[in-house]
Chain A
Amino acid sequence: MQYEALNQWHFVAAAYAVGLGGVAVLLAHSWLAMRRAERRRADSREGGARGK
């Protein structure tokens, strides 16, 4: 009879790598997108002030 020997810790490590990695990417992406948008708003304000 053939059977697979599964190391349960491998599955736990894989789940945590996927989950925590995903949350880290989401946080970093949202932070960078917010900073980029706020910089763009500040630039548009400065551009407006220079125009006056």
Chain B
Amino acid sequence: MHAFANPARFLRLARWMTPLFLVCGLMLAGGAMAWGVFVAPADRLQGETVRILYLHVPTAWLGMGGWTALALASLSELVWRHPLAGVAARAIALPGAAFAAICLATGSIWGRPAWGTWWVWDGRLTSMLVLFFLYLAYLALADAAQRDGAGASRIPAIFGLVGAVNIPIIHYSVLWWHSIHQPPSISIGKSAMAPEFLVPLLVSTAGFSFLFGAVVLMRMRGLLADQQAETRLRRKAMAA
């Protein structure tokens, strides 16, 4: 992992990975959306609204996966002082927040015809809303830490680790508490979903994962470029 600790080496990789991730993501997500809307069958119970699945589920998984990656990057920053880990954690926070918000919005839109309500304060929905607020708090903390100097960067990293407690709560909420939300249909190695629904869902997840990765790479490149410009300007100001 430390082989990629050098920002120059990372930037060389990121320069060709960013367009690759973007193209793969747009093609896979676009294809899966068209498949889900125009080709996949309607569900026997949920009718046409089941098509929201191909957008709602990948954004939910990536919202949760985003915080897991943010927590791992925070751990790497705190324990191994990996120079890119803090940048990676900061870069993940905004797409994570956006995907959590999209998951909440599409879930609410799906809930109205499926459950007869836009929102209900049950375990799954509430813990997902908490995840969205955690992302916003992380973004505010990371901004404040950047203004206050390098020493303060440990605070968002600690917050990133502590916030990871919410991820198993989201996952198990539908099993621990009586919930209006359905229990998980897919777990590692098995699925209760018919292949007509499962295949476009997996393609859509792959596509959105590439798009998430492209956003993280773009944000990391931007943050590193800002840091380098700042360092140069400070050096020039001191030399003047």
Contacts and interface: CB of A to CB of B under 8 A. Distances in A.
Interface of A: 6, 8-9, 11-12, 14-16, 18-20, 22-23, 26-27, 30-31, 33-34, 36-38, 40-41, 43-45, 47-48, 51
B183 interface: no
A12 B223 contact: no
Contact of A8 (B29, B113, B228): B113
Interface residues of B, number: 39
Main secondary structure of the interface of A (DSSP, over half): helix
B219 A30 contact: yes
Contact of A33 (B49, B211, B219, B229): B219
A12 B49 contact: yes
Contacts, number: 103
Main secondary structure of the interface of B (DSSP, over half): helix
Contacts of A51: 236
Residue among B55, B112, B214, B225 with most chain A CB within 10 A:
B225
Contact of B101 (A22, A31, A34): A22
B23 interface: no
Given A12-B52, A20-B33, A30 B222 contact: yes
A11 B49 contact: yes
B105 A18 contact: yes
B59 A19 contact: yes
